[in-house]
Structure 1
Amino acid sequence: MFNFLRRQFTLHVYIAAYDRGLDAKGNRKPDHWAIIITKSLSHPGTAHHVIHGHPLFEYRHRDDVYVLKSQSLSHVLHVGKIYEKDVSKLEEVFASLEVDNVNKGWNCQDWVIDAMTSIEKMKCVTMEKGVKTEWLKELVKKASDGRDI
């Protein structure tokens, strides 16, 4: 009857980086990046990411992801918070982002940066202080140079 008094649930938005190991020449592959939306890192969440490789990249979301249980997890960055009611808007944006199967230098990290740019424009996520898309671009550059991020 009094829905305007109903408490809105807040979820957390993270970027998770997963170690992909070494290529055939022994060089470290770039980390796989995903955006995770979850109640907390100890609860299951939904991963939003692009999978496969050129020319077969495609966007996917996967429910019931336990970030901290992954043995390949290398980093987690808390990006911000979002009200549960706004998650579907964000997921629509993620699904509409372009997947680049032409540019050989494009990968999942670029998709996450594009998604973060969209998140900043939407203003439905309360961003953590200091988290900027430009900073993420620097992380990608460092990762591609083979330095630890």
Structure 2
Amino acid sequence: MMFNFLRRQSALQIYIAAYDRGLDANGNQKPDHWAIIITKSLSHPGTAHHVIHGHPLFEYRHRDDVYVLKSQSLSHVLHVGKVYEKDVAKLEALFASLEVDNVNRGWNCQDWVIDAMKKIEKMKSVTLERGIKMEWLKELVKKASDGRDI
């Protein structure tokens, strides 16, 4: 007789990480680079989902083996939700399907993350933290701790 044990679903955490990009040629602060990170925890490697380059060459890219807390340019990290491992492929398909705006010069990686979060908000397979309001996202990321909130 065989026993069929149900394996408990493993949840992965979803974070928005903001990275300091330094100063431009005129000495003005560049906007932070934002990425969505999916990982077991901030002490484990995860996958970063973001747009890279700049106008007119923005493109979506994912990068595995990202250690968020080991980045010297990390300025903030905000826990926004969780997703079960079985549903990560749906989330990654959503990221790959998002429009990248290489026309509007005001558009950047932060806008891509906000667009992604608005779509994630509608996914039944993702549980968002209570109190995450998409219209407040820029302020929430800036108010996140010193980037080390585990």
Structure 2 length normalisation: TM-score?
A: 0.89
The aligned counterpart of 1:62 is: 63
Q: Which amino acid aligns with 2:18?
A: A
The aligned counterpart of 1:18 is: 19
Q: 2 CA distance for matches of 1:94 and 1:31?
A: 20
The aligned counterpart of 1:52 is: 53
- What's the CA shift for 1:125? 1.3
Alignment size in residue pairs: 140
SS of the residue 1:28 aligns to: coil
Q: 1 CA distance for matches of 2:4 and 2:99?
A: 41
- What's the CA shift for 1:136? 1.2
Q: What 5-or-longer segments of structure 1 have no aligned partner?
A: 143-149
The aligned counterpart of 2:73 is: 72
Q: 1 CA distance for matches of 2:73 and 2:111?
A: 20
* Pair 1:99 & 2:100 matched: yes
| Identity percentage of aligned residues | 85
Q: 1:77 to 1:138 in 2, by over 3 A?
A: closer
Q: What 5-or-longer segments of structure 2 have no aligned partner?
A: 143-150
- Give the aligned CA root-mean-square deviation in angstroms: 1.5
Q: 1 CA distance for matches of 2:79 and 2:95?
A: 18
Deviating 4+ runs (over 2 angstroms): 137-140
SS of the residue 1:121 aligns to: coil
Q: 1 CA distance for matches of 2:131 and 2:73?
A: 26
Which structure carries more helix by proportion?
A: 1
